[in-house]
């Protein structure tokens, strides 16, 4: 008994999947190779801003919240801030404003 199976359609489907041309397969977004300017800003200033917020509030949890809010507010202004001194000043002022508003 000889059974003839036509596998050309099946092979074509797997070939398309291997080439990532299948129509039902979702593409993954590309992974960022370089970190963004904001990530560099956070890496550079987070310890200093958090330490300042800790001294201002004497509460580590509240200091974390103030620090996060400061970075969120600076993230919106990042395009206009070119100087490192302006970035640091804006971060510290954001912590002070948020600390005063929380009391």
pLDDT of 45 reads 92
Residue found under tokens 């008994």? 1
- pLDDT for 102 equals 73
Q: What pLDDT, on a 0 to 100 scale, did the predictor assign at position 34?
A: 54
What pTM was computed for the model? 0.62
What's the whole-number average pLDDT of the chain?
77
pLDDT confidence of residue 46: 95
Domain boundaries of the chain, sorted by first residue: 34-102
Report residue 82's pLDDT band, with 50, 70 and 90 as the boundaries: confident
**pLDDT digits 0-9 by tens, 3-15:** 555 555 555 555 5
- Average pLDDT score over residue span 69-98: 86
The CATH classification number of 34-102 equals 1.10.1740
Q: What is the distance between the terminal CA atoms of the chain, rounded to a whole angstrom?
A: 87
Residue 26 pLDDT greater than 80, yes or no? no
């Amino acid at each position: 008994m000889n059974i003839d199976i036509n596998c050309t359609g099946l092979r074509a489907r797997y070939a398309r999947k291997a080439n990532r041309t299948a129509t039902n397969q979702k593409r993954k977004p590309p992974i960022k190779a370089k970190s963004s300017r904001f990530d560099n800003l956070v890496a550079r200033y987070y310890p200093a801003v958090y330490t300042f917020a800790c001294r201002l509030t004497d509460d580590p949890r509240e200091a974390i919240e103030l620090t996060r809010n400061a970075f969120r507010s600076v993230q919106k202004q990042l395009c206009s801030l070119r100087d490192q001194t302006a970035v640091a000043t804006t971060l510290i002022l954001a912590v002070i404003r948020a600390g005063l508003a929380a009391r």
